[in-house]
Amino acid sequence: MIVRPIPRALLALLVLCSTGCGSEDADALVVVGLTTDMAVGFEIDRVERTTRVDGVVTRAESLSYGGGELSLPSELALEPARDGAEVELTVEAFRGGEGSPFVTRRAATRAVSGRALFLPVSLDAACSAISCAAGATCAAGACVDPFIEPSTLADHDPTWIASASDACKTPSSGDPAVVIGQGESAFAPLEHGDVVPIEPGPQGGHHVWLALRVTGLRQMGSRLTVGGYFPELAFELRPFTSVVTLRRAGDAGCEIYGIRFQVDRGLPVASVRGRALDVEAVLEDPDGDVGTAAQRIVIAP
């Protein structure tokens, strides 16, 4: 299970200063909304991004998931530029251990005095096998002109991120849904009353390995709370909470496995063997959407 303290939306300030930066006419803003339909931490390990103003590099930065710096979707707030300045962003996506990007996306526009333009930029899985000619970039699986006329761009609205698609939450994914399964290294389904083995933990106590199938919730930054209740013992286990990153599971949506849940906290292990345990999982994503699930299991004798 990959558990990271991931912020709701990473705000990276990219300094865009041209010859007019700092002067009274540097009041044109461009805000980039960076999204992807790939799973960060699994399909994307890091991104490298470069910004240019009128052809001059103003910022070059590398952000990695392992370093806790990469979270998508995210908002890249660019500092004021002069009216008419051409602003360009190049984003390269890398898999873990690879030295060459497998997706490269460019986007450009012109800053407009008195406006905060919203420039959407996506890293698309459909572009991983496409090589575009010089002067073009890949978006949604097709080679296109990276320049977007500012007159076609909307003004920045900070609420955009709540409706932005990602690897696990899309307009077609429906309401949040969570299914409890089991498994340390893969998801396996659970039926009501299934017997589940326990094993000793590295720091004492005994645990079961749980897994979740999830739809309609963000791939990154969702807060997971797992609790349990032994009805025969009238004993409630203290819940635990962590921030998790989901992986894609094809048509099944997304999933997480390897969730270690201690079942004898505050109880002798002998007293829980052979007992029914009602498990509840609650997953709340950064948008405030919540999915819940409950499942009765029986601890192995």
Q: Is 289 exposed, middle or buried (0-12, 13-18, 19+ CB in 10 A)?
A: middle
Do 138 and 181 share a domain, yes or no? no
Q: Maximum CA pair distance of the chain?
A: 75
When pLDDT is cut at 50, 70 and 90, the band that residue 17 belongs to is very low
| pLDDT of res. 170 | 86
User: Is 64 a member of any domain?
Assistant: yes
Residues of the chain above pLDDT 90, percent: 80
Dump the DSSP string for the chain.
--B----SS-EEEEP---TTTTSTT--BEEEEEEEESS-BTTTB-EEEEEEEETTEEEEEEEEETTTT---SSEEEEEPPB-TT-EEEEEEEEE-TT-SS-SEEEEEEEE--TT-EEEEEEEE-GGGTT--PPTT-EEETTEEE-SB--GGGSPBP-GGGGGG---SS--TTS-S-EEEEEE-SSS-EE--TTEEE--EE-BTBSEEEEEEEEEESS-SEEEEEEEEEEETTTTEEEEEEEEEEE-EE-GGG-EEEEEEEEES-TTS-HHHHTT-EEEEEEEEE-TTS-EEEEEEEEEE--
Overall domain count for the chain = 2
Cα separation, 47 vs 74, whole angstroms: 12
Return the structure tokens found at 24: 């009274």
Neighbours of 300 (CB within 10 A): 13
Residue 132 has pLDDT above 60, yes or no: yes
Is 170 contained in some domain?
no
* 171 located within any domain: no
CATH number, residue 24? 2.60.40.10
Q: How far apart are CA 214 and CA 195, in angstroms?
A: 23
Same domain, 150 and 192: no
Same domain, 58 and 89: yes
> Are 287 and 210 within one domain?
yes
Task: Please list, in sequence order, all residues whose beta carbon lies within 8 angstroms of the beta carbon of residue 209, skipping any fewer than 6 positions away.
Answer: 182, 183, 184, 257, 258, 259, 260, 261
Q: What is the mean pLDDT of residues 129-150?
A: 95
Where a domain ends, among 128, 163, 198? 163
Least trusted range by pLDDT, from 2-16, 76-90, 265-279, 287-301: 2-16
Query: How many residues comprise the chain?
Result: 301
33 plus 157 within the same structural domain? yes
The answer as to whether 169 is a domain residue is no
User: pLDDT (tens digit, 9 = 90+) per residue, 147-171?
Assistant: 999 999 999 999 999 889 899 998 8
Question: What distance in Å separates the CA atoms of residue 187 and residue 181, rounded to the nearest whole number?
Answer: 6
| CATH number of domain containing 295 | 2.60.40.2550
Q: Which residue range is the domain that position 288 belongs to?
A: 177-299
159 with 181, same domain: the answer is no
Average pLDDT of the chain is 90
Does 2 have pLDDT greater than 80? no
Report whether 42 contacts 248 (CB < 8 A).
yes
Is residue 160 within 8 A of residue 135, CB to CB? The reply is no
Q: Is the pLDDT of residue 8 over 60?
A: no
Between residues 195 and 5, the one the model is more confident about: 195
Please indicate, yes or no, if residue 6 is contained in any of the structural domains. Answer: no
Q: What pLDDT digit, counting tens, does each position of 203-219 carry?
A: 889 999 999 999 999 99
Give the model's pLDDT for residue 162. Answer: 87
